[in-house]
Amino acid sequence: MSRIAARFEALRAAGRTGLVPFLTAGDPDAETTLRALHALVAAGADVVELGVPFSDPMADGPVIQRASERALAAGMTLRGVLELVRRFRESDAETPVVLMGYLNPVERMGYEAFAEAAAAAGADGVLTVDLPPEEGEGLFAALRARGLDPVLLAAPTTPPARLARIGAEGSGFLYYVSLKGVTGAAHLDPGAVAEGVARVRAAVDLPVAVGFGIRDAASAARVGRLADAVVVGSAVVAAMEAAQAAGADPAAAAAEVLAPMRAALDAGEGEP
């Protein structure tokens, strides 16, 4: 059983909703990212998503686009991201790490070389946002051969045939994009999320993590009543950005965003 599967199994057994924060590797620098990873785990993260910065992050809104720009300007690379994972693993052998990014850097490294390096570093899953499941066989096979979970996306507009393909190709968990548009979007509709999650669960036998539109403890709790896990990205990255600009500690700011969400999820607050 993979580290991701084991974590979701433990959450299910405990009757808890998972909390999955995202941050961009190298924003504002590698050392801050490493501290932020540990701070997020201490604040209640069950899985962490580590974004691989990319020059054309088309699925991301302005907050995460700026984070990618800062990370690239600071010299972060895909190999640098893997080194961060390796260093994180020196003191945390339990928290699953999902690498989230775009296909181009992975293609440049090569599927086999990337999968081998990611597994050696201690990563657990890979989510490639611009790789359709119908075109991912080569990468997915390389990942699975090394015990890594291909984590796939579904959206409100995903047709049944593609959902079936996602269920066959993906593992670990399914990331359900609750809104059309880019990361950081607002206007979360819990009723629509409930309908979408039910449709996904009818087709895919994986835990469902819902992301996009999770901005605070209240929205996390509302979605947490409907899903196996809640993903929060832009709110964490924005807090880190603001802290850096103010001369405060971005790692502490990330934890301050997450802690109230963890408390709200554990309290079962919010109405679906």
- pLDDT tens-digit profile of 11-52? 999 999 999 999 999 999 999 999 999 999 999 999 999 999
49 is catalytic: yes
Q: pLDDT tens, 124-171?
A: 999 999 999 999 999 999 999 999 999 999 999 999 999 999 999 999
- Catalytic residue (choose from 27, 49, 149, 228): 49
Q: pLDDT tens, 89-108?
A: 999 999 999 999 999 999 99
pLDDT at 268: 80
H or E segment at 67? helix 62-73
Position with higher pLDDT, 187 vs 51: 51
| % of the chain with per-residue pLDDT over 90 | 86
Encoded tokens for 243 = 């802290």
List the domain boundaries for the chain.
Answer: 3-268
Residue 180 has pLDDT above 70, yes or no: no
Q: Is 96 helix (H, G, I), strand (E, B) or coil?
A: coil
| % of the chain with per-residue pLDDT over 70 | 94
Task: Tokens 């991912």: give the residue.
Answer: 136
Spatial distance between the Cα atoms of 48 and 217, rounded to a whole number of angstroms: 18
| Percent helix / strand / coil, the chain, rounded to 5 | 50, 15, 35
pLDDT at 269: 57
Residue 78 has pLDDT above 70, yes or no: yes
According to DSSP H, which parts of 136-182 are helical?
Answer: 137-145, 160-169
CATH code: domain 3-268 is 3.20.20.70
Beta strands per DSSP E along the chain = 18-24, 48-51, 97-101, 125-128, 149-150, 152-154, 174-177, 208-211, 229-232
Residue 183 has pLDDT above 50, yes or no: no
Given the DSSP bridges, would you call strands 208-211 and 174-177 parallel, antiparallel or unpaired? parallel
Given the DSSP bridges, would you call strands 97-101 and 152-154 parallel, antiparallel or unpaired? unpaired
Residue 112 has pLDDT above 60, yes or no: yes
Phi, psi of 101, rounded to the nearest 5 degrees: -175, -155
How far apart, in Å, are the Cα atoms of 86 and each of 38, 79, 236? 13, 11, 22
- Catalytic residue (choose from 46, 60, 228, 241): 60
Asked if residues 208 and 201 have their Cβ atoms less than 8 Å apart, the reply is yes
Q: Is 213 helix (H, G, I), strand (E, B) or coil?
A: coil
189 is catalytic: no
pTM exceeding 0.85: yes
